[in-house]
A and B are shown apart, each in its own frame.
Chain A
Amino acid sequence: MDEVLQVFLTFLRLGALSFGGGMANLPEMARVLMANGWVTRQEFADGFALGQFVPGPNMLAVVFYGLAAAGLPGALAALAGMFLPGALGAIWLVKGWQWMARSQWSRALRKALVPIAMGLSASMVLILVQVGVDAVGWLLGVVVAALLIHRGVPVVWVIGGGALLGLLVGLA
């Protein structure tokens, strides 16, 4: 039970801090989860990759991490911790949004969060390359995938293509 509570509190903190999209906290999540011994480096990367196969928010990989840390209750605790802070804020925003739209600090905050989110995304790419890309060949794969998506190839195809290519490499 203590373990489950610890999982919940860990993800609650991560969820409350992930400004600029759900994955902004990924670098910190990787560090914290690995330091707690809940997942290995490889498992963290694999959980993130599995998360690409399911519909819904990208951060459903937290289900995987919670399961690894404390079984099924851990999975539920991670899910609740990750999504509750933002959802509660979003519910409150129904009452507060007119005030938010008018107030100067909230407009300044919205503007400031755009470049901050870019910095968070860049950090995210860095940590993902560090934990998830263990062969130089895959680094090329990252660039090719980015190019294809930039050219307008549907994301689902590129992800599927990555899986196929991985299978072929595994067979070779």
Chain B
Amino acid sequence: MPWFELFLAFLQVGLVAFGGGGNAQLYQALVLKRGWMGEREFLETTALVRVLPGPIFANTAAHLGMRLGGLMGAVLALVGVLAPGSLLMLLLSFAYFRFGAVPGSLAESALDGVAAAAIGLILATMVRQAPVALDSLKAVGLAAGVFVTYGLLHWPLLLVLLVHVPIGVSLYWGEAARPWDGAGLEVPPRG
């Protein structure tokens, strides 16, 4: 696959992936539009990428770039999805520190409104996922344990994970005994 074509595909996704819809855009661009990989391959690999730390969208892009074009493909894919947003973010940040960082200013007030809407988005996502994510007593217990130690008691994140990940893995050990049947795969929304 020509590197330029690969870079262009990821760059286009990086330009239009607003509001956390990155994976759906990748699906559109790579599977539906260009047919570079099959649906099942896309879903299986993106599901696995979720165990990694960091932004799922960027990790997925790096992973798919590696599959399509080796190490150079991974670098191009990552730069492609990150560059447009990073440059815009840099411009906005410069403008903010030059003009906007005045308490009580209009820009400040507009950003308060944006922050409220963005927190609402996280809340809405949680509400949507809760029935699936908190489907058992152990799941509720794990989530509550993380919230109490991290959100309320302000433990360092590393400590929170060192305590809860091993507990979580042992709680789910039995359930994980049967081979993976592709459960947990979700088709990204189209559009």
Show the binding face of A for B, using Cβ within 8 Å: 14-19, 21-25, 27-28, 31, 42-43, 45-61, 63-64, 67-68, 72, 75, 79, 82-83, 85-87, 89-91, 93-94, 97, 100-102, 104-129, 132-135, 138-139, 141-150, 154-156, 158-159, 161-167, 169-171
Residue on B nearest A164 in the bound complex, by CB? B113
Does A19 contact B22, Cβ atoms closer than 8 Å? no
A-B pairs with lowest CB-CB distance, top 9 = A145-B120, A86-B54, A166-B113, A119-B146, A112-B168, A56-B85, A170-B109, A123-B151, A162-B117
| CA gap between A71 and B126 in the complex, in Å | 35
Does B146 contact A56, Cβ atoms closer than 8 Å? no
| CA gap between A158 and B184 in the complex, in Å | 29
Does A138 contact B51, Cβ atoms closer than 8 Å? no
Known pairs A56-B58, A91-B74, A133-B119; list 10 more (Cβ under 8 Å). A55-B18, A64-B96, A68-B93, A90-B62, A109-B168, A145-B123, A146-B119, A154-B19, A158-B120, A162-B113
A84–chain B nearest beta-carbon distance, Å: 8
A119–chain B nearest beta-carbon distance, Å: 3
B37 at the interface (CB under 8 A from A): no
Contact A156 B93, CB 8 Å, known A167-B110, A170-B105: no
Residue on A nearest B145 in the bound complex, by CB? A119
Does A115 contact B156, Cβ atoms closer than 8 Å? no
Residue on B nearest A166 in the bound complex, by CB? B113
Residue among A56, A125, A169 with most chain B CB within 10 A: A56
Chain B residues, CB < 8 A from A161: 113, 117
Does A159 contact B117, Cβ atoms closer than 8 Å? yes
Residue on A nearest B144 in the bound complex, by CB? A119
Which applies to chain A's interface (DSSP): helix, strand, loop or mixed?
helix
* Interface size band for B: 35 or more
Does A144 contact B120, Cβ atoms closer than 8 Å? yes
Chain A residues, CB < 8 A from B44: 97, 101
B89 at the interface (CB under 8 A from A): yes
Show the binding face of B for A, using Cβ within 8 Å: 14-22, 44-45, 47-60, 62-63, 66-67, 71, 74, 78, 81-82, 84-86, 88-90, 92-94, 96-97, 100-101, 103, 105-106, 108-130, 132-134, 138-140, 142-147, 150-152, 154, 156-158, 161, 164-165, 167-173, 175-177, 179-180, 184
**Contacts A/B (CB < 8 Å), 29 sampled:** A21-B56, A28-B156, A53-B114, A54-B85, A64-B92, A83-B78, A86-B52, A86-B53, A89-B54, A91-B66, A94-B63, A104-B173, A108-B172, A110-B50, A113-B50, A115-B138, A118-B139, A121-B122, A127-B151, A128-B118, A132-B119, A133-B112, A138-B115, A141-B117, A142-B117, A145-B117, A146-B119, A149-B124, A170-B109
A14–chain B nearest beta-carbon distance, Å: 8
The residue that B115 contacts in the complex, of A24, A87, A132, with Cβ under 8 A, is A132
A49–chain B nearest beta-carbon distance, Å: 4
Chain B residues, CB < 8 A from A24: 157
A159–chain B nearest beta-carbon distance, Å: 5
